[in-house]
């Protein structure tokens, strides 16, 4: 499914983010940037050790990556040129600024892409795995933030790569409206 928002194509794809050929893919990392499970593990496995080396250099310079912030490395062995690593919030009931922090994760990833002249980018469903952010709520934030951002900066494409059929359905329902 795809939809134009201004000059930007917003698309939904079911599949594996490590296989996307957009200029950048986004990693749902943790604050250590040293790798983890889920999509983070998949990206480091597919991209190879170079990505972890670059992450370590970033950590040596600026320490950990705070929740809601984003940093960039190359894509290592993957088809994508760059990986933008962002850290979504851990869901803990909704009163710990989780909505704002999730918005920041999307916004700052898009902003890092913009700063690097990147025109196409793929996102996973940040925070909705191990971090347990409620899916419908997360999808609304993801789409709203992207739609707002592309009013100011045109990407050729912003793609959401959903791992499960269920996630795909949730995104489709939300993008329809
Ligand atoms: P978080 O810790 O931010 O919740 P997770 O990696 O646990 O991150 O999950 C985020 C989302 O990424 C989940 O919807 C999960 O199903 C999905 N996911 C896991 N592996 C991949 C992959 N290879 N490509 C795309 N999405 C993936």
pTM of the full structure: 0.98
Please give the average per-residue pLDDT across 155-165, as a whole number: 98
DSSP conformational letter for 163: S
CA 126 / ligand 1 centre spacing (Å): 7
CA 129 / ligand 1 centre spacing (Å): 6
CB-ligand 1 contact for 19 (6 Å cutoff) = no
DSSP conformational letter for 156: S
Q: Which domains does the chain have, with CATH numbers?
A: 2-176 (3.40.220.10)
Provide the 10 A C-beta neighbour count for residue 114: 16
* Candidate of 125, 132, 134 to mutate for ligand 1, largest count of ligand atoms within 8 Å of Cβ: 125
The per-residue pLDDT for range 41-84, each reduced to its tens digit, is 999 999 999 999 999 999 999 989 999 999 999 999 999 999 99
């Amino acid at each position: 499914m795809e939809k134009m928002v201004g000059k930007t194509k917003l698309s939904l794809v079911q599949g594996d983010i490590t296989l996307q050929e957009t200029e950048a893919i986004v990693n749902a990392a943790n604050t250590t940037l040293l790798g983890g499970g889920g999509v983070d593990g998949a990206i480091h496995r597919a991209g190879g050790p170079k990505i972890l080396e670059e992450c370590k250099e970033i950590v040596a310079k600026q320490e950990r990556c705070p929740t809601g912030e984003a940093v960039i490395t190359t894509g290592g062995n993957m088809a994508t040129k760059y990986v933008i690593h962002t850290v979504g919030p851990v869901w803990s009931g909704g009163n710990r600024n989780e909505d704002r922090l999730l918005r920041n994760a999307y916004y700052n990833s898009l902003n890092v892409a913009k700063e690097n002249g990147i025109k196409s980018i793929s996102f996973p469903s940040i925070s909705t795995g191990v971090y347990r952010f409620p899916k419908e709520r997360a999808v609304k934030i993801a789409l709203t933030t992207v739609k707002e951002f592309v009013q100011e900066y045109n990407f050729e494409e912003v793609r959401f790569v959903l791992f499960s059929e269920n996630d795909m359905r949730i995104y489709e329902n939300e993008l329809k409206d």
